[in-house]
Amino acid sequence: MIRSRFSGTDDLEFIPSCVYDLIFRCHPPPSRQPIPSNSVPTLAATDSGASAKVIDGKLVSKQVKDEVAEEIATMKAATGHVPGLAVILVGSRKDSQTYVRNKKKACEAVGIKSFEVNLPEDATEEEVIEHISEFNNDSSVHGILVQLPLPRHMNEETILGAVNIEKDVDGFHPLNIGRLAMQRRYPLFVPCTPKGCMELLHRYGVEIKGKRAVVIGRSNIVGMPAALLLQKANATVSIVHSNTKNPEEITRQADIVISAVGVANLVRGSWIKPGATVIDVGINPVDDAESPRGYRLVGDVCYEEVSKIASAITPVPGGVGPMTIAMLLSNTLESAKRAYNFK
């Protein structure tokens, strides 16, 4: 089992040791039933008797990107400006390079101007901050992303804290998180992955107000902000984490489950209340000798079991994954609209 990019140290302590040996008995689904790509997402009809509706993140992310592209075209016609997104990559991690490349491509596709800085693994904190400052002062840049993880010799808090809060499209600044937590306060940006989860719930018409929601995992970038968003949408929220003694019992009370813990197939069928909506944020590579890459990706949720009990579920891949980048584009557009006072 390899750690997912979303898992924190704390999250990995999550499972009681007695559960470890059970995890790999569950296998990811052999097939899925996505809604046709030209249809409007809805949960009104189910695919088949006992099987959950598949929440199609690829479809929704395409819809979001189309909407963003359209708004950018209108903004450009009205103001002469397009949004700009700067990405700073330190080091040469293969996965980070892939993410950055994908972000660049996604920007180009919707009409966002890309800025990119690549620094060597042994760059200093000062160098990174210098580039951040340049982008902070560049009026054609509306969002600044520092690709994580940073090399170990760098202080993540110091570096992320150098990003101007008005360009913090990642929404990780504590000031944004504080405003997210507070009533009658609103963040400038909402972190992309949890925002993507909420967007999926909204677009599939899942009612949140008054519902019980359980978030599994409390990372700064997914679990915790997802819980704050559900709470702001008037759900009754419980957060399950590495110190929770009876995660299964608590999760089974939820109408909405968001799992962002980074443990393959942790959430079994017995954890889920019949008819619940399940959003699986985990992207966990597990060994697979039959795959040409030697591994395959599975979620935190045992899809095979849970899809028989839930009323709706996100697949992995193709669920939350594609939403993160769509929300990043949406945040960058929002920032540019604020900068140019375009409504």
Which amino acids are annotated catalytic? 103, 147, 170
Instruction: List Cα–Cα distances, 309 to 6, 256, 265, 269, 280, in angstroms.
Output: 25, 13, 15, 7, 15
**Contact present, 85 and 141 (Cβ < 8 Å):** yes
73 binds a copy of itself (CB under 8 A): no
Q: How far is the CB of 119 from a copy of itself (least distance, A)?
A: 24
Q: Which of 16, 120, 149, 178 binds a copy of itself (CB under 8 A)?
A: 178
Distance CA 186, CA 302 (A): 35
Q: In the set 100, 163, 190, 240, which binds a copy of itself (CB under 8 A)?
A: 240
- The rounded radius of gyration (Å) of the Cα atoms in the chain is 20
Dist CA 287 CA 167 (whole Å): 39
Closer to a copy of itself by CB, 231 or 259: give it. Answer: 231
Instruction: Report the residue number, 40 or 175, with the smaller CB distance to a copy of itself.
Output: 175
Residue matched to tokens 């592209």: 69
CB of residue 236 to a copy of itself, shortest distance in Å: 4
| Site for a copy of itself contains 127 (CB under 8 A) | no
Name every residue whose Cβ is closer than 8 Å to that of residue 63 and which is 6 or more positions away in sequence: 203
Task: Yes or no: say if 146 and 115 are a contact pair by the CB < 8 Å rule.
Answer: no
The residue among 95 and 157 lying less far from a copy of itself, judged by its C-beta, is: 157
- Residue in 176, 265, 324, 330 binding a copy of itself, rule: CB under 8 A: 176
Q: Which stretch binds a copy of itself (CB under 8 A): 77-85, 140-148, 239-247, 265-273?
A: 239-247
Window 194-233: contact mask with a copy of itself (x via CB under 8 A): ---------------xx-x-----xxx---x---x--x--
- From residue 341, give the alpha-carbon distance in Å to each of 72, 85, 113, 332: 13, 18, 19, 14
Closest separation between CB of residue 244 and a copy of itself, Å?
4
**Among 12, 18, 28, 20, residue whose Cα is nearest residue 296:** 28
Residue from the set 66, 121, 157, 287 that interacts with a copy of itself by CB under 8 A: 157
> What mask of x and - would describe binding to a copy of itself in positions 28 to 47, judged by CB under 8 A?
--------------------
Reduced to 3 DSSP states, what percent helix, strand and coil does the chain have, rounded to the nearest 5? 40, 15, 45
Which one of 48, 243, 289, 343 is in contact with a copy of itself (CB under 8 A)? 243
| Pairwise CA distance, residues 294 & 44, whole Å | 39
Burial classification of residue 257, based on how many CB atoms lie within 10 Å of its CB (0-12 exposed, 13-18 middle, 19 or more buried) = buried
256 binds a copy of itself (CB under 8 A): no
Check binding of 275 to a copy of itself (CB under 8 A).
no
- How far apart CA 95 and CA 226 sit, in angstroms, is 24
Order of all β-strands in the sheet with 84-90: 113-119, 84-90, 143-146
96 interacts with a copy of itself by CB under 8 A: no
Out of 144, 154, 177, 283, the only residue in the binding site for a copy of itself (CB under 8 A) is: 177
What are 194's two structure tokens?
């949890």
**Residues in contact with a copy of itself, total (CB under 8 A)?**
37
> CB-wise, 178 or 205, nearer to a copy of itself?
178
Taking CB under 8 A as the criterion, the residue among 184, 290, 292, 293 binding a copy of itself is 184
Query: Per CB under 8 A, does 182 bind a copy of itself?
Result: yes
Say whether residue 185 binds a copy of itself (CB under 8 A): yes
Residues that bind a copy of itself (CB under 8 A): 8, 10, 157, 173-185, 209-210, 212, 218-220, 224, 228, 231, 234-241, 243-245, 250
